[in-house]
């Protein structure tokens, strides 16, 4: 009898332990952004290599997609000396420097899928890339030469990713970034973009996507990415270009950068741009979300909530929502406190309002 009681007591303790550990793991899961949105979409962040020397636990806890903040941009991976030595004027050499290596290794080792950012951009692209013999002071090359450079740039990048990081999942890539004028109204003019200086039309965009389709690993979705995407003229520009590329079968998605402020745009304006992009039938990703707090943390939290609610409505077309930065201290606009995590990683009102949307 006594033994039976002890047995029952032990079983009781075991059950209690199981209940407690499940309860704890439930609690733990529910305060992670990525876990809260599991089944809806990935939660991404941009990352700079410096952070990977101290902030990895936080990143691993909350995020299941990473965009290197600067380390895959053309000026980070194009190698001028190598291009001049063996590029034969048409084959730019791509190499990954230590910051890029740090970020890619972290993603590969921790099995965190990567969003590549970016191939074609008017900014952070060296001038010599567009010039004869890859020389800063040369003349601009012809369209024919530039086509070969563009194709090889994309090919070499995907090949190097595969060779150096065979286990890395590159699930999306911004093929073109910010090709339209700030507020819309057409393509960036030649005075702002060397791409336009060489091509004079949208041909470079179509070609970039065509080459990316040829060399991207299977499963890597190809995106056109832009900012001010909620302003009518810009929304229309992006929509038209995405539709054109879709007809050619070379695009998979539209990236809404989503650098927002509490006073502009309105949630409604933002949601209607998202609706319009979703109506193309393409994927949509929110790729660089941050919200200028403008001194009003509550308003920031409300807008975050609206943005996530709009995203959840289209979750079947949205593979990921990415925050541009892990926490306020490392944001490109840190004085605007634009992220849901504060300077010391504290949970801000925005964090809680986002979690509400997830139902967590
Ligand atoms: O790496 C150099 C370093 O060697 C130098 O000492 C230092 C001095 O200023 O500058 C460092 O480069 C900076 C780089 O970030 C890395 O920190 C550049 O000056 C700085 O301009 C660059 O800013 C980046 C910006 O893109 C450039 O356009 C931001 O970090 C990055 O968050 C931002 O990201 C863009 C997206 O790619 C596209 N959409 C808009 C978004 C925000 O601007």
pLDDT tens digits, one per residue of 221-256: 999 999 999 999 999 999 999 999 999 999 999 999
Interval between CA 53 and ligand 1 midpoint (Å) = 19
* Pocket of ligand 1 contains residue 257 by CB under 6 Å: yes
pLDDT in tens, 157-194: 999 999 999 999 999 999 999 999 999 999 999 999 99
* Pocket of ligand 1 contains residue 328 by CB under 6 Å: no
Q: Where are the alpha helices (H) located in the chain, listed in sequence order?
A: 2-30, 33-36, 56-62, 74-77, 80-86, 98-109, 143-164, 194-199, 203-215, 232-247, 267-278, 297-313, 349-358
* Pocket of ligand 1 contains residue 70 by CB under 6 Å: yes
Contact 205, 120 (CB under 8 A): yes
Whole-angstrom distance, CA of residue 244 vs CA of residue 135: 34
Above pLDDT 70, what percent of the chain? 92
Copy the structure tokens of residue 112: 């965190």
Selecting among 51, 178, 229, 306, the annotated active-site residue is 178
Low-confidence spans in the chain with pLDDT less than 50? 10, 13-29
Chain mean pLDDT for the chain: 94
Going by CA atoms, what residue is nearest to atom 41 of ligand 1?
Answer: 288
CB atoms within 10 A of CB 50: 12
Hey, which residues does 285 pair with through a beta bridge?
A: 255
Whether residue 178 lies in the annotated active site? yes
Interval between CA 287 and ligand 1 midpoint (Å) = 16
Whether residue 229 lies in the annotated active site? no
**Of 97, 324, 332, 333, best ligand 1 pocket probe by most atoms within 8 Å of the beta carbon:** 332
**Of 46, 69, 70, 322, best ligand 1 pocket probe by most atoms within 8 Å of the beta carbon:** 70
Burial 198-217 (b: 16+ CB within 10 A, else e): bbeebebbbbbbbbbbebbe
Whole-angstrom distance, CA of residue 37 vs CA of residue 167: 25
CA dihedral 344, 68, 340, 275 (to 10 degrees): 180
Above pLDDT 90, what percent of the chain? 91
Q: Which residue has the tokens 């939660």?
A: 43
* Pocket of ligand 1 contains residue 69 by CB under 6 Å: yes
Determine the atom of ligand 1 nearest the C-alpha atom of 257: 39
Per-residue confidence (pLDDT) for residue 360, from 0 to 100: 74
Going by CA atoms, what residue is nearest to atom 16 of ligand 1?
Answer: 70
Interval between CA 124 and ligand 1 midpoint (Å) = 8
Per-residue confidence (pLDDT) for residue 11, from 0 to 100: 53
**Of 69, 72, 76, best ligand 1 pocket probe by most atoms within 8 Å of the beta carbon:** 69
CB atoms within 10 A of CB 266: 13
């Amino acid at each position: 009898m006594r033994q039976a009681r002890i047995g029952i007591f032990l079983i009781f303790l075991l059950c209690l332990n199981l209940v407690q550990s499940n309860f704890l793991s439930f609690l733990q899961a529910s305060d992670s952004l990525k876990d809260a949105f599991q089944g809806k979409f990935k939660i991404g962040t941009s990352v700079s290599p410096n952070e990977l020397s101290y902030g990895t636990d936080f990143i691993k806890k909350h995020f299941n997609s990473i965009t290197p903040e600067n380390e895959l941009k053309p000026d980070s991976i194009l190698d001028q000396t190598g291009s001049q030595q063996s590029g034969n004027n048409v084959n730019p050499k791509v190499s990954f420097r230590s910051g890029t290596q740090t970020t890619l290794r972290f993603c590969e080792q921790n099995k965190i899928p990567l969003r590549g950012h970016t191939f074609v951009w008017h900014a952070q692209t060296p001038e010599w890339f567009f010039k004869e013999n890859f020389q800063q002071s040369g003349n601009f090359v012809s369209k024919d030469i530039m086509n070969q450079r563009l194709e090889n740039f994309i090919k070499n990048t995907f090949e190097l990713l595969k060779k150096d990081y065979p286990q890395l999942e590159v699930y999306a890539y911004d093929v073109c970034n910010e090709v339209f004028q700030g507020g819309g109204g057409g393509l960036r003019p030649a005075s702002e973009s060397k791409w336009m200086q060489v091509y004079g039309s949208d041909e470079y965009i179509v070609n970039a996507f065509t080459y990316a389709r040829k060399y991207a690993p299977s499963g890597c979705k190809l995106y056109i990415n832009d900012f001010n995407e909620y302003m009518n003229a810009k929304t229309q520009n992006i929509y038209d270009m995405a539709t054109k590329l879709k007809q050619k079968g070379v695009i998979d998605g539209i990236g809404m950068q989503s650098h927002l402020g509490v006073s502009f745009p309105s949630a409604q304006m933002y949601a209607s741009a998202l609706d319009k992009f979703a109506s193309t039938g393409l994927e949509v990703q929110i790729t660089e979300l941050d919200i200028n707090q403008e001194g009003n943390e509550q308003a920031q939290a409300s807008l975050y909530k609206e943005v996530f609610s709009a995203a959840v409505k289209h979750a079947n077309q949205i593979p990921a929502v990415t925050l541009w930065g892990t926490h306020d201290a490392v944001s490109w606009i840190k004085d605007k406190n634009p992220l849901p995590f504060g300077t010391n990683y504290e949970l801000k009102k925005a964090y809680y309002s986002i979690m509400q949307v997830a139902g967590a």
